[in-house]
Amino acid sequence: MDRVFIWTAITLQGESGYGSTTGSSKKAIWRQLHHQGYYQISMDLVPRDQLNTTLSNADLIYILESLSSILDAGISIIEALELLINDRKSVVVQYVFLRLKKALHEGHSLEQAFSMLSPLFSEFFVAMIRLCEQSGSLRQGLLDLKSYYRHQEKHRQELIRILRYPKIVFGMILLMSLGVIIFVVPMFSNVYALFKGDLPILTKIIVKVSHFIHHHDMEVLASCIFLISWGYLPGLRFSNPVIYLSQKLKRILQSREDPFLYAHAMALLLESGQSISQATRQATVCMSKKSHIHGHLLTRKLNAGFSFSEAFQSLPWFPDAFQRFIAPAEQTGLLKIGFEQIYTYIDRQRAARFEKWSKFIEPALMLILGAVTLTLLLSVYLPIFDLGNRLG
């Protein structure tokens, strides 16, 4: 199977060259470049799993920040990419800059260049770049996108900080539970045998698990190694239930962001002079596919003669803030300001909701872990206490 490499080299004339190419091995590509007159060739493999997932928020912020800062200096987008290609922050980011420059040289628009790199860039990202190009506000659009992904990264880092301590405690409890099952339960096997099967259901389960581990230790060890490595195998990681569920949860959370994205896109489009019908159609594209139907329904109602406030009122999917802020904005003819107020209000609500629930995540997890520990200890020692009472 072909793999993706990025390379840099020097020609006989002393000129530097670089690019990305696919091939079965590094040696085959090296020979191909050597026949083309390149020397002092260095190559890096772009991991396949990184090419099949959306870029991290940190990489997106870096790309947007790099492009916007260089564009501020009055340099064209192609010249900016020429400078950024030599920045070796990461292999996948360097690959993105190479592909963008190649696509722009071939006459494609920036939106088309980003869409060719799917799934590295989400539909929302590509749609926002399209809107910025059409409205002629590329620099402002890059800044808006950077602000959005910084906000997302801030929430992600906050969640990581909150969950770090419970993860450590959970790991300790997991090790302790395994220690009890593997080493402690067998020590009480003779005591459990006195009950002749009349044990609590949880104790029966733990005894059977301990018995199974002791009689199939190598199989259990191999299964644990496979489960741990499953999430890191390029061709199989997305079939991992944990990764699949996390991706599913991510899509659900992204769909909840769609009203905010819709209001943000509408404010940007109306500011650029787009008509209402064009703006609503293009803002719908910024949302996830699951939410496109709500944008299409809104467009149909507007085409049928409904006002924005009436349309939002008849579509419960849109939060009440849409109808509340748009009604006075329509009366004054300042729809753009109305949509700006909507996404500002939703953003503040989202931040307040996140801050509220983040305070309860850690205590709730600690209570759950404490309950698991108590259940485990009682299931192991309760029959022993019962036996002591009988002897007494």
Amino acid at 61: I
Q: Give me the mean pLDDT over the 379-385 stretch.
A: 76
pTM: 0.69
Per-residue pLDDT of 333-367, as tens digits, reads: 888 889 888 888 888 887 787 777 777 777 877 78
- The two counts, helices (H) then strands (E), for the chain are 19, 3
Judge contact between 350 and 151, C-beta under 8 A: no
Residue 151, Cβ density class (10 Å: 0-12 exposed, 13-18 middle, ≥19 buried): middle
**Top-confidence residue, 60 or 151:** 60
Query: At residue 112, does pLDDT exceed 60?
Result: yes
13-27, 116-130, 337-351: range with lowest mean pLDDT = 13-27
Superfamily of domain 255-348: Type II secretion system (T2SS), domain F (1.20.81.30)
Domain-by-domain residue ranges, the chain? 3-45, 57-121, 150-253, 255-348
**Selection from 256, 277, 255, 286 nearest residue 335 by Cα:** 277
Q: Give me the mean pLDDT over the 289-297 stretch.
A: 86
Spatial distance between the Cα atoms of 234 and 272, rounded to a whole number of angstroms: 43
